[in-house]
A and B are shown apart, each in its own frame.
Chain A
Amino acid sequence: MPNNKVEPGFTRYLTPEGQLHTPLPAWADDFNLLTRLYRHMVLTRVFDQKAVALQRTGRIGTYAPTLGQEAIGVAIGSLMRSEDVLIPYYRDTAVQLMRGVRMEEILLYWGGDERGSDYAEPAVAEDFPLCVPIATQALHACGVASAFKIRGEHRVAVTTCGDGATSKGDFLEALNVAGAWQLPIVFVINNNQWAISVPRRIQCGAPTLAQKAIGAGFHGEQVDGNDILAVYDRMQIALERTRQGKGPVLLECLSYRLGDHTTADDATRYRAAEEVKQAWQEEPVKRLQAFLAAQGVWDEGRELALIAECQGLVQQAVTAFDNAGTQSAESVIDHVYAKWPAALAEQREWFLERAQRHAGGEDHGQ
């Protein structure tokens, strides 16, 4: 039998300790950029942990933490243009924040309020909301990319998913149509090694997830998802290529889910403390911090100031969230159709009357 073995490329610039693994690309000379990237990762982490704390105190509902995967979202979010469109999955706090979704909107979404998906920021008006049915977003992204292509626009659809999602028919059908139609789309896989309790090794028989692109006729590669310089570099190239109409790209980012699957999950049930401990050694924030410190552009003073600044921003967002109140009863019914059908007018009356009889609404959270 002929040998089918393929080896998609793998990119890493920094070792886990933040030292040079491979010579840096030219753009990485810009320490302002690197510092900005670092800042965004820290802000993401501070906000992410606040979200977890809010869930623990019953002020928002189930939340999917991003702990340990900040590099991926910050990198792709910072590279996308405002006219590009993000079609995320549900563990995408980092990229949402980079795109311009407000922190209080993220809290509203997980806090059980649809206004969290009605982004105020015009720059993200066309970004999709988070997606729960696994991998279905990949097909929506293909639809978005199709629209770009049909209209001749130089815009890119960027869609994210986890390692588990790549097993799903929707994902494979998305790759297929993207390849068949050479769509302007970048698929970013956050391979954090775990699909709830199912480890990567039993999720798929292929040695890499990146090589699924080959079956669909386009380019796929792996990148160290804990190395923001690597993610940034490869994503930049992927976006440029795709934007030029050279077809889709699949970027598999190797990371680790340092937190639980969600705030309701307990990962200690199915994975060893040793493994998690080891993964902490490779995490992205400390890695970049070490590199920046070694270059002399970061120190404890700046770190403290940054933490304080981030905490302030997060607190502002929490206050805004607390002040958001509750949606009206009408809002529950009036957005189902462009205009609530006359045939169902009686239902609407009954519903609103019933809502009035209910004592107040539910507080957000729980």
Chain B
Amino acid sequence: MTSNFTVKRRDILKMMGVGAIASTASGLLVLGDAAHAQAAPMPKRGGKLRAASSNSSVSDTLDPAKGSNSSDYIRQFMFYSGLTELSPKMRAEPALAESFESKDGVNWTFRLRKGVTFHDGKALTAQDVVYSLSRHKLPETGSKVKVLADQFAEIKAVDASTVQIVLTGPNVDLPSILGTSHFLIVQDGTKDFGKGIGTGPFKCTEFTPARRSVGVRNPNFWKPGKPYLDEVELLGLTDASARLNGLLAGDLQLISSVQSSDAQRLMQSKKHAVLETKAGMYSDLIVRVDGAPGNNPDFVAAMRYLQPRERIVKTALHGYGTIANDHPVPPWHPFYATGLPQRPYDPERAKFHVKKGKLQGVGGELVCSEPIEGSVEGAQLLQQSGNQIGLKLNVRRVPYDGYWSQHWMKHPMSYGSVNPRPTLDMLFSQFYMSSSRWNESGWKNEQFDQLLVASRAETDEAKRKKMYGDMQVLIAEHCGTIVPAFVSFLDGYDRKVKGLESNPMGMLMGYRFAEFVWLEA
């Protein structure tokens, strides 16, 4: 039943072992999970958990197409399920789709699990899937992933439990894309998303934007035995110390987005622990290469050598980060370009480039904003070292509101922030392809574009790795996006909460903690 193509694909995906549990060598702090490794305790059913995430606003939504921050994703994963789900090893596993296959990467067939029902009793059919996926293509949906959805040339229900998707071009990563929160499945015809009716582990009993969401266990969840908790209450608390104090005071059992400066305090408490998840999130300095001063390659080179990478990880991130090599692929990723030497912090070399490019007095404003991790600190450090070698750099801190429409990519130098993507293809297509709207630095590299398109169809794993490696080298040497470090996710939890593990897809187990955790009495 499974074609050759699918088998090979599974092998490829098996190799993408990026589970944080496996890579203890990267100095992970996985307190509380030592028990899991030695003797897996039996999950207990029951209990109410109160968790807090970091966003809270009237724009909180239960519409998967509109999810824009981690709180939305967490909330949506509580109530909805997707065709596939992403395991800690970044592998697309069957979820609502029992199996999926494609012979050529263009025509995909998804067979749906039988007997799945929505919270209101209605059965899951192919039509629900067609509706959920097609709506992303309509401009009036305002979907955040319209660009991705434009790849779907055709989506049709072959029968009540089979969906066929035809893409505009080959893409072996389709199952991974469908595992993200935007592609969660809703009922056919849903226009009002206030009720959150889905097939997920919890039934929504309350949803108050800018305040909280509450879900009770879905007794008919398609994963028998799960979820363990009776009830989950998800609060949105924007202030990091409010979250932390809430956890320490016992009002909360689980919080996301612990600030790296607070992790120590959390670890001092005997009743609590911190979970570090190494993921591909990063803040990058974007130097536009389609205008001055970025169009001078010596300037970009100087800026690269000035990046105080170790210092950023040590001071801004308090050690909860990983040094990056000016491209967006983290060191523990199987496709990481190991052959590319790590670029060091080298002011002398930067000075050489300043002389060579006659850049004395050249510089500009480093536009940054507080909520972008490490941007304000990084900019200040850069300013100091830059001015010492003859550049003229200034820091310009701007308000976060409206940042993405007013400042991101719009200045000669600004900061950006990228959340982890399930596949490198998604990452590169969204941010590095020359025609992409989010081509942050405005670079145009034909070789890169060609490699990218070719890699989508490449089934040979070794060849694919080489292609991705070459692309990383191109980015590191020619692109204006400078990535100093990857930022780890930090979750704080009460030790009574068990079953919490790292998933590099995002915080709180790739946003899906609600399904997996249980409470010890």
Asked if A and B bind, the verdict is: no
Residues of A within 8 A of B (CB): none
